[in-house]
Chain A
Amino acid sequence: MSEPLLEIRDLNMHFPLKQGVFQKTTNYVKAVNGVSFTLNKGETLGIVGESGCGKSTLARTIVGLLKPTSGDILFEGESILQYHSKELHQLRRDVQMVYQDPYTSLNPRMRAGDIIAAPLKAYNQRDHLRKRVLELMELVGLKADDYKKLPHQFSGGQRQRIGIARALALNPKLIILDEPVSALDVSVQAQVINLLEDLQEELGLTYLFIAHDLSVIRHISDRVGVMYLGKMMEMSDSESLYKNARHPYTNALLSAIPLPYPLKEKKRERIVLKGELPSPSNPPSGCVFHTRCPFATEFCKGNVPTLDENNEADHYVSCFYPMENKQEEFIRQ
């Protein structure tokens, strides 16, 4: 097996909620709650979950934009939480991020070329600056005369290409993609996904790909983790997760996706979850999913399952009663 690039150990990110004149901390929003995983070199790990499940907080914590409450983040075997500003500066060269919204993540007053050149200037790589920027632009499929254009002159898909070129500028090892295609139209989404796959092959990149769309995640990921209320519910390689989802939440997510097959859609039996996402400042006791789980028992209310519960080979599931999946059989019909 290839070697681990990024290791997350029991990561917690709790935001204090303050109240009153003295801003006393009354409660915590447990955005990320005891998440652990390993990301190997050259691999794509997909993190999927609904809004509010903590997937973006996880990304921000990894790039060092947030300081976690507890836990450890190891990059190439070294804990980045102990890093001082100088070392962090180096780290940011290796770990880059692409953001969700191509409309707000680019400075509207900077020219495309300058946006892509910004990270190079920040790291004092000014030799052949223009040549390097043009190289990057060609790599992501932008034309040379786009160099002088402003962000508003580009479409959503092209802007996302600028964002990707900027992330690639410093030859990073790891790129964290936070919902990179969810703001794009279907046809443009396919262009960007294909581009990301080509770049990975060409440059040997490692991706942490965050999205709420299970089909996109399946398409691009080698391994997938499913998050719910700050916790990892299920984690396995992509094939196994989609063929044999064992957590009731994963199954509910899979069955909630409308498929482009009208005949199957009519016959399909869904697990429709009742109710809404509970508040992360006051998560349910025991298994966080028990309030919406169709199979929950009394035991689930009092006991917290871990990701090591009932695991098979490389397929981890945080559930006391993992299920056998019928979803895939259904899709195959």
Chain B
Amino acid sequence: MLEVKNLKAHIDTTDGVVRAVDGVSFTIKPGETVGIVGESGSGKSVLAHSIMQLNPKPPTFYPQGEIIFEGKDLLQLQDKELRKIRGKEIAMIFQDPMSSLNPVFKIGDQLMEAILTHHHLPKSKAKQRAIELLTDVGIPDPEKRMNAYPHQFSGGMRQRVLIAIALACNPKILIADEPTTALDVTIQAQILELMKNIQEKYGTAIIIISHDLGVIAQMAEKVLVMYSGRIVEKGDVEDIFYRTSMPYTWSLLRSLPRIDSESRNRLLNIEGHPPNLIHPPSGCNFHPRCPFASEQCKMVDPELTKRSPEHYVACILSEMEFKEAKKRMENVEREGDLNHV
């Protein structure tokens, strides 16, 4: 349904060109959930905004790539045509429910605006639809709540309203950019549950962006792991979490404190910081922080290659080599622990 082909989104700054998204390809089918995971600055939000063409141009420009939605390349469309797709065919939920709603308009009006922009309906019908939507997203007493202002809602409730607005025109794709990062865990559980129910009911495809590997594991069927503007591993959710083949993904999983770990295992230190995207490192972008990096990694920029039908990895280590490297490292760790005692 949506196909992103070798997309590059670069941003012009006074210091040079930031390669925020640097050659990303993926597809999404109807009713599917794709998760994009990465740390801050990995380009995941720029990627999501590119699909909606929401990055300000300039400074953002797209030197290469296509975003094909229902046969049309979104990068080539005029503003007028884009506006027909935005909100109607592809809708978006943003991270911060506190600032995404207009504080001076009533919830009901903002919801009706979303409906009336794309449909010629009498106001009474739009109102009816708005109330339906609020019921759908689980807001109690929706008729009364239509007249409330955003400040009268808590964070979780506002996120529900934003989901209602996004759903107003039955979009085919819903892009959720860190939808629960600003919320407490119990509220996060409610919102994720709601998103799943809505997907079942309407058959919406969801692109969920998060830095939280747990959220991705819970929601996504397919996962893209991003690092410094590129996809470094992609595949089914089980491939990514159980048959991890890229050192970056593996390190991320190892650096996560686990609720189920027996003893106080030491977390894996990923040394250093995410790279500067104006002057990315030579070779593989991850090599300065990679525990398995060799001399070759400084020279060769690995391409995303197929490991199994759905599993792609950007690393020069083959599956066997990676396994051995992990084993070697675990042995070193064990010795380190013994020395420590």
Select from chain A the residue with minimum beta-carbon distance to B221. A262
Cβ–Cβ < 8 Å partners of A110 in chain B: none
B259 and A254 within 8 A (CB) = yes
Interface of A is mostly: helix
Selecting from A75-83, A213-221, A314-322, the interface stretch reads: A213-221
B273 and A259 within 8 A (CB) = no
Which A residues have a C-beta under 8 Å from some C-beta of B? 50-51, 155, 157, 185-191, 193-194, 197, 212-216, 218-220, 242, 252-263, 265, 270, 272-273, 276-277, 328, 331-332
Select from chain B the residue with minimum beta-carbon distance to A52. B184
Cβ–Cβ < 8 Å partners of A277 in chain B: 154, 184
Contact of B154 among A157, A265, A276 (CB under 8 A): A276
B253 and A219 within 8 A (CB) = no
Question: How many angstroms from the CA of A173 to the CA of B267 in the assembled complex?
Answer: 25
Give per-residue flags for B214-227: 1 if the beta carbon is below 8 A from chain A beta carbons, else 0: 11111010000000
A157-B273, A190-B267, A252-B186 known, 17 other contacts, Cβ within 8 Å: A185-B211, A186-B256, A187-B255, A187-B289, A193-B267, A194-B267, A194-B269, A213-B257, A215-B257, A215-B258, A219-B258, A219-B261, A220-B257, A260-B217, A263-B238, A273-B190, A331-B259
Contact of B269 among A191, A242, A257, A332 (CB under 8 A): A191
B279 CB–A CB distance under 8 Å:
no
Q: How far is the CB of A331 from chain B (nearest CB, A)?
A: 4
B192 CB–A CB distance under 8 Å:
yes
Which B residues have a C-beta under 8 Å from some C-beta of A? 39-40, 154, 156-157, 184-190, 192-193, 211-218, 220, 237-238, 241-242, 251-253, 255-261, 264, 266-271, 273-274, 289
B184 and A212 within 8 A (CB) = yes
Question: How many angstroms from the CA of A51 to the CA of B188 in the assembled complex?
Answer: 13
Cβ–Cβ < 8 Å partners of B264 in chain A: 197, 219-220
Given known contacts A190-B269, A260-B253, A272-B193, A331 and B260 CB-to-CB distance under 8 angstroms:
yes
Cβ–Cβ < 8 Å partners of A219 in chain B: 257-258, 261, 264, 267
Contact of B257 among A50, A193, A262 (CB under 8 A): A193
Between B215, B237, B257, B258, the greatest number of chain A beta carbons within 10 A of the residue's beta carbon is seen for B257
Given known contacts A186-B211, A256-B186, A262 and B217 CB-to-CB distance under 8 angstroms:
yes
B185 and A191 within 8 A (CB) = no
A186 and B255 within 8 A (CB) = yes
Q: How far is the CB of A175 from chain B (nearest CB, A)?
A: 18
Select from chain B the residue with minimum beta-carbon distance to A154. B273
B273 and A155 within 8 A (CB) = yes
B268 and A190 within 8 A (CB) = yes
Question: How many angstroms from the CA of A276 to the CA of B215 in the assembled complex?
Answer: 20
A186 and B259 within 8 A (CB) = no
Contact of B214 among A190, A255, A257, A331 (CB under 8 A): A257
Q: How far is the CB of A206 from chain B (nearest CB, A)?
A: 16
Cβ–Cβ < 8 Å partners of B274 in chain A: 185
Contact of B252 among A187, A216, A331 (CB under 8 A): A187
Select from chain B the residue with minimum beta-carbon distance to A242. B259
Q: How far is the CB of A230 from chain B (nearest CB, A)?
A: 16
Cβ–Cβ < 8 Å partners of A185 in chain B: 39-40, 211, 274
Question: How many angstroms from the CA of A122 to the CA of B269 in the assembled complex?
Answer: 35
Question: How many angstroms from the CA of A242 to the CA of B260 in the assembled complex?
Answer: 8
Lowest 10 CB-CB distances: which A-B pairs, in order?
A258-B214, A190-B255, A219-B257, A187-B270, A256-B189, A50-B184, A190-B267, A258-B218, A331-B260, A185-B39
Given known contacts A193-B257, A219-B257, A186 and B217 CB-to-CB distance under 8 angstroms:
no
Q: List 21 A-B pairs, Cβ < 8 Å.
A: A50-B184, A50-B186, A50-B187, A185-B39, A186-B211, A187-B289, A193-B257, A212-B184, A215-B257, A215-B259, A253-B185, A256-B188, A258-B215, A259-B260, A260-B213, A261-B241, A272-B190, A276-B187, A277-B154, A277-B184, A328-B260
